[in-house]
Amino acid sequence: MDPAKPILSLRNIGKAFYGNRVLADVSFDVAPGEIVGLVGENGAGKSTLMKILFGMPVIHETGGYEGAILFEDREVRFRTPFEALDAGIGMVHQEFSLIPGFTTTENILLNRESFNNSILIDIFGKRISTLDRMTMESRSKKAIDKLGITLDPRMLVREMPVGHKQFTEIARELGRENVKLIVLDEPTAVLTESEAETLLGSLRTLSAEGIAIIFISHRLREVVELCDRVVVLRDGHNIKDLAARTTSIKEIASLMVGRTMEAQARIDAESAAREEKASGDGEPVLTVENLWVDMPGETVRNVNLSVRQGEIFGIGGLAGQGKLGIPNGLMGLYPAGGSVTLHGEPVALNSPRAALERRMAFGSEDRRGVGLLLDEGIDWNIAFTAMQVQDKYVTPLLGGLLKWRSDAAMSSLATEYIKLLEIRCTGPRQRAGTLSGGNQQKVCLAKAFALRPDLLFVSEPTRGIDIGAKHLVLDTLKKYNREYGTTIIMISSELEELRSICDRIAIVYEGRIEGILPHTAPVEDFGLLMAGADKDEAPATAGGGN
Amino acid sequence: MEGIKRFIADFGLPRVIITFYLLALFLAAPLVGVSLPASISDSLIRIGMNGIMVLAMVPMIQSGCGLNFGLSLGVIAGLLGATLSIEFGFAGVLGFVVAIGISQVFGAVFGYGYGKLLNRVKGGEMMIATYVGFSSVMIMSIAWLIMPYKSPTMIWGFGGEGLRTTISVEGFWRHILDDFLAVRIGDSFKFPTGAILVFVLVAVLIWAFFHLKLGTAVTAVGSNATYARASGINVNRMRIISVMMSTMLGGLGILVFEQSFGFIQLYEGPLYMAFPAVAAILIGGASVNKATLVHVFIGTALYQGILTMTPAIFNAVLKVDMSDVIRIIVSNGMILYALTRKTKVAK
Amino acid sequence: MNSKLRLFFIENAVVILFILLIAVAIPVSGLPRQFLMQEILMRLGRNSFLVIALLLPIMAGMGLNFGMVLGAMAGQIGLIFIMDWGIVGIPGVLLAMIISLPISIFLGWLCGSIMNMAKGREMVTGFILAFFMNGLYMMIVLYAMGTLIPIMNPEMLLSRGYGIRNVVGLDGVRQCIDNLIPLKIGGLKIPVFSYLIIAAVSCFIVWFRKTKIGQDMRAVGQDRAVADAAGIPVERTRIMAIVISTVLAGIGQVIFLQNLGTINTTASHEQIGMFSIAALLIGGASVTRASIPNVLIGVTLFHLLFLVSPMAGKNLIGSAMLGEYFRQFVSYGVIAMALVLYEWKRMTQEHEARAELRGGAAPAKGAKGGAA
């Protein structure tokens, strides 16, 4: 494709949320008809970048962005998604935005239907006119043909297989007359292999017709096969802008997770300096076999692992690959199956109570939804689980028949943890909902610690916390591990964090353990596992792409 | 000024208006020749009469089941207790105690079934509670017609079918609580010690329950059911417990009401009994998912105060009885207000 | 073929149940067939319009519109005025409807806005709002009319000098719509004009579904978020559904009352919401789906039940009240059942929607997770 004049030009895009910098100086161009792949770890800034491009209100509600976006050679500053749509940019999100009881045609033309004319329009306005279904059907057929696939324009969406729903979504973006650029966010995540192939084929067809495409995906194989160029984001920066023809999956994976030379050296030095654990080859305390978990968005398909006593075991991987499903399934929060053994005894799944009674505890990644009682005080939040499962902080009355809640004991427990974790609050009775994100996280952890567990799962323990608090949390985890011998399983999107405190780290890809590495392993190896690419390495000169 | 604005926002504009309205009525009383001691006495009696049914709202609100529009189920349990107690020939204190006992048994059974139903329809409890309540009242109406009661004070004379619509409890346990240790001052003031004592006693029991490990779990379920589940709590069981409590309290509440009112009202009587209780607790400051005992006391006092004072004042001033209309507007307006407030963030 | 038959029975379980029930009750009641048929023909003409008013809010995803009572109140106020001004016949009825229009539109807008403030709880809110508005209505009709609002005809007032009487006779307009085009077939009187009106409003509903705004309503009714993301004005569309519903309820109440021939000032409108909703549900509608056939079947079955229950009860057990209570039980019960089914279906749908996000080949074992 002749990159004479780019249709989209991002110049020095930057964004910070309340002082937390997410994007810095990102620039790249997209030519008409070009397919650009956008890859990066979680938190690299991909979704924020797309939110800026698409004019999502959350962006300008939090202070706008820096830099400039040029579309068709004119500077644009979209403030709502509709402005972006009007300009000719379409976006296909991961979650389907379809009306289940409507046909394909009705969905493709949602809120852009064709009307029959009538005098009533003049009196009552446009909405009173009846729909011209024949014209609508031919318009939708046109959009479907553009994709180069077959879709029944009269089928109800709720009766369609998932792949067809995805295509309907895309057809809707194409149905707009002036569409020039389409962004697709993980479009193949829910498709079968053959559906994915069909989709890639349609995208090539579109590209040939001059529609530019931004393709966001973690499936590097597809990215390398389909795209003309690949842009790698890391820590909010545009690290590299490669031609797909001349790169390999391995190179891209390394770029995704690598660090600058200095940072890399520092991490390697830290790693080496860590004392080797006495429990280096301890007994396996937790064995998991054939675990599957039905957690929407984080499905686990078949996980096998074995964690040693006293170990700090890390689980990493890209978002949506299933790492979060593992602790949620093991702690009974989502339907799960498989066999789990703790200290040699089997553990029942699908029962939070059973997991807690076996002295496993969980600091959930979903602070506000699962981890906290937002309307109750810090004391309730920290003491509650221990009270219910271990009968702590209650005074038995009438010979144990009645268990009276001891507010005083709960209060002193809370005070203890407020000091230990440096939780900034007005006191143990402050409502958890009014704490800052970082302090809420600390409360969640305190709740897990208060159970004095044998095995502690912590999920995204430092997400959204400032640097100082991060260190405190990680140090406390290390302390618990050292002093009480608590086995810790830490799930995190931040590879660095995992490598800094874990002994071994497993990487989850598409619901399975792709590999387990010691923390000293080179970072590119982790990158390859995260991209699922350790097995199928495309040769340096990939035949794919355009 | 800011402080006042915030207070009004927190407390709720409707509640502020209601409080001022009631205050105005009390202040106007002596000016228009309405006896203040009689009014206060009436209000107190009504508070004793209705308080427990308002208390019955607390467990289900706390457990996240919403406002118990199906309180009629509990009332039916109470009616069964009252009629059976009379049928078996008990009177006086014994009769009242037997009635309570029977009502609690039925209340527990009804509450269990009702709770199981509500567990299947999470999110739509309120509407379903209303109509399950209505349907039950109608089934019971058929039952009152065909159940083989024999007691002559209760059945229709002239060999008619089934129980009478209204049955007097005179001679059985009329005013048994109201008059217990009552304090009389002059001939227009009576403090219904017995009823108020029972009200406070039951309130204390509820307070104690929510301080137990079990009650704490129930509160957590209403606060964030996912959190409770993750802590190993059986959410469905907690909800059923709260529904059973609510239904049993309804049974007790109607008996206390009847001893003061003097009559047992069958058939379509219980149809709308939930609404005043719902309105009262909302007026007291509760929301659809959070209620405390303070809300119960304040709400019952305000609501019954309005019900007592409005007809008295309006009659004296305008020679017009608008009390019914005012009651409808105030209670339903309050419920409407509560329904349209934004729910808590925790889901 | 067998499974198709099964599906048919499951989908239409309610209607079939009721047909069986009534088939048994009619002979037990001993009421003559001619009488029943005449009554049903009359009641179809009288009640169907009101039930049709419920269709649009269901389409817009707002459930059973208990707030239709507000429209009924508007219609009644219109009739009170024309009776006061002594306008009779068709012009009187027409004028009553016209007077009710602005009141209905205002009340409908109010109801819709309040429902928008209580999304997810529209039905309870409408239910309570109806009670609340009843209070205001009584304030106006029993206290303001004759004092602040001038009433010319003193016969309309209560003995105390203000406030409308409990029962207002509609002698001037009694059955004027019904009798407009007289027709008798086999000894049965058929209110042709009423049927024509119903046919007209049915055509309106069918046409409305085909318009853009009808399409928008359907979209909003199925998924508010998706409709919003597509740029459809969700709040306005919902309010429009309620406004139309209220207006239709107002007109429907006028038709209803002109057939009855009297207004019970404080009570005529109270149960109309519940009766109309019960009828619609008995006709096979659900909280999310309702159509014209549901209306007609429902009105027929509901009113047959209405008519035969008292006598059937008397003949069975010796008490007419039994039949009466049974009828009420059925009305309340069918609404309770519809609500339960609705919540059930909703929970199942959410579960299935989440299952989709599993993606690709998931090891979806049947074993569901435990606890809540």
CA distance B290 to chain A (A): 10
Determine the pLDDT at residue A259.
64
Percentage with pLDDT > 90 across chain A: 32
Alpha carbon distance A403, B196 (integer Å): 28
Q: Look at residue C357 in the predicted model and tell me its pLDDT.
A: 58
A131–C359: do the CB atoms touch at under 8 Å?
A: no
Q: Specify the pTM.
A: 0.85
Contacts of A96 in chain C (CB under 8 A): 356
- Cβ contact B220–A376 (<8 Å): yes
Q: Quick one: pLDDT band at residue A543, thresholds 50, 70, 90?
A: very low
The reported pLDDT for the residue numbered A239 is: 79
Distance from the Cα of A353 to chain C's closest Cα (Å) equals 10
Residue A535 has a pLDDT of: 57
Say yes or no: C254 contacts chain B, CB-CB below 8 A: no
Does residue B202 lie in a domain region?
A: yes
Q: What pLDDT shows up at residue A488?
A: 94
Tell me the C-alpha distance between C110 and C127, whole Å: 14
Lowest mean pLDDT among A337-346, C158-167, C221-230: C158-167
- Establish if B333 belongs to a structural domain: no
Residue C300 structural domain? 2-359
Per-residue pLDDT at A263: 63
* Residue A243 belongs to domain with CATH number: 3.40.50.300
Of C226, C227, C369, nearest to A335 by CB-CB distance is: C369
Closest Cα of chain B to C177: distance in Å?
34
Q: How far is CA A219 from CA A128, A187, B70, in A?
A: 47, 10, 54
Query: In the prediction, which pLDDT does A174 show?
Result: 83
Residues from chain A contacting residue C361 (CB–CB below 8 Å): 192
In this structure, are A352 and A463 located in the same domain?
yes
Task: Render the burial of B186-225: b for 16+ CB within 10 Å, e for the rest.
Answer: eeebbbbbbbbebbeebbeebeebbbbbbbbbbbbbbbbb
Phi-psi bin for A41: left (phi > 0), alpha (psi -120 to 50), beta? beta
Question: Is residue B231 within 8 angstroms of chain C, CB to CB?
Answer: no
Q: What's the pLDDT score for residue C153?
A: 84
* Mean pLDDT for the stretch of residues C93-99: 93
Per-residue pLDDT of A420-460, as tens digits, reads 888 888 889 999 988 887 888 889 999 999 999 999 999 99
- Residues A429 and A303 both lie in one domain: no
Distance from CA of B329 to the nearest CA of C (A): 5
Q: Which residue of C has its CA nearest to B131?
A: C336
How near does any CA of chain C get to the CA of B248, in Å? 22
Does residue B325 belong to any structural domain of this protein? Answer: no
Domain-terminating residue out of A452, A485, A515: A452
Structure tokens at A79: 């403030």
Are A476 and A517 within one domain? yes
Cβ of B232 and A353 within 8 Å? yes
* Interchain proximity A352–C371, CB inside 8 Å: yes
Residue B113 CA to residue B115 CA, distance in Å, equals 5
- Tell me whether residue B57 is in a domain: yes
CATH number at residue C135: 1.10.3470
Question: Under an 8 A CB cutoff, do B213 and A403 touch?
Answer: yes
In this predicted structure, the answer to whether residue A351 has a pLDDT above a threshold of 90 is yes
Rounded Cα–Cα distance for residues A456 and A177 (Å): 54
C366 found inside a domain: no
The total domain count for chain C is 1
Q: Which residues of B touch C339 (CB under 8 A)?
A: 121, 124, 127-128, 131
Q: Which of A102-116, A130-144, A246-260, A511-525 has the lowest average pLDDT? A: A246-260
Range of the domain at B155: 34-270
Which has more pLDDT, B65 or C12? B65
Q: Which residues of B touch C343 (CB under 8 A)?
A: 120-124, 128
Contact assignment for C359 to A98 by CB distance below 8 Å: no
* Structure-block tokens of residue A503: 């002994």
Q: Quick one: pLDDT at residue C323?
A: 82
Hey, which residues 180-199 in chain B have their CB within 8 Å of chain C?
none
The verdict on A84 and A185 lying in the same domain is yes
Instruction: Rounding to the nearest 10 degrees, give the CA dihedral for residues B1, B5, B6, B9.
Output: 170
| Strand A487-491 with A89-92, pairing | unpaired
B138, closest residue in chain C (CA to CA) = C329
Does residue C69 surpass a pLDDT of 80?
yes
Q: Which residues of chain B have pLDDT under 70?
A: 157-161, 342-347
Residue B145 lies in a domain: yes
For the record, the structure tokens of A212 come out as 């530019």
What Cα–Cα distance (Å) separates residue A23 from each residue in A46, C171, C267, C317? 9, 78, 66, 80
pLDDT at residue C32 greater than cutoff 90: no
Q: How large is the average pLDDT for residues C183-193?
A: 84
Digit-coded pLDDT (tens) for A61-97: 888 888 999 998 889 888 888 889 889 999 988 778 8
State the pLDDT at residue C354.
Answer: 67
Interval A176-184 mean pLDDT: 88
For position B158, what pLDDT does the model report? 61
Residues counted in chain A: 546
Mean pLDDT across chain A: 85
In-domain check, residue B83? yes
- pLDDT for A354: 93
What pLDDT is stored for residue C356 in this prediction? 62
Task: From chain C, pick out residues whose CB is under 8 angstroms from the CB of A296.
Answer: 354-355, 357-358
> Residue A1 above 50 pLDDT?
no
Q: Which of A369, A374, A387 minimises the CB distance to B213?
A: A387
Tell whether the model's pLDDT for residue A540 goes beyond 60: no
Is C372 domain-assigned? no
CB contact, 8 Å: C366 with chain A? no
pLDDT confidence of residue A192: 81
Q: What angle do CA A535, A538, A540 make, to 5 degrees?
A: 135
Hey, are the CB atoms on A294 and C361 less than 8 Å from each other? no
Number of domains in chain B: 1
Q: How far apart are CA C218 and CA C224, in angstroms?
A: 10
Across the interface, of C211, C226, C359, the residue whose CB is closest to A98 is C226
Report yes or no: C223 at the A interface, CB cutoff 8 Å.
yes
Assess if residue B345 is contained within a domain: no
pLDDT, position A257: 76
Query: With an 8 Å Cβ cutoff, is A382 touching chain B?
Result: no
Q: Does C333 touch chain B (CB under 8 A)?
A: yes
Number of domains chain A contains = 4
Residue A91 one-letter amino acid: M
Of C228, C349, C358, C365, which to mutate for an interface test with A (greatest number of A Cβ within 10 Å)?
A: C358
In this structure, is residue A518 part of a structural domain?
yes
Which domain covers residue A249, as residue numbers? Answer: 1-88+180-191+207-258
Same structural domain, A343 and A476: yes
Q: Does C328 touch chain B (CB under 8 A)?
A: yes
A&B contacts, CB < 8 Å: 81
**Residue A41 Cα, gap to closest chain C Cα (Å):** 21
| A108 and A142 belong to one structural domain | yes
Give the mutation candidate from C215, C223, C345 for the A interface (greatest A CB count, under 10 A).
C215
Res B53: pLDDT: 95
Residue B77 placed within a domain? yes
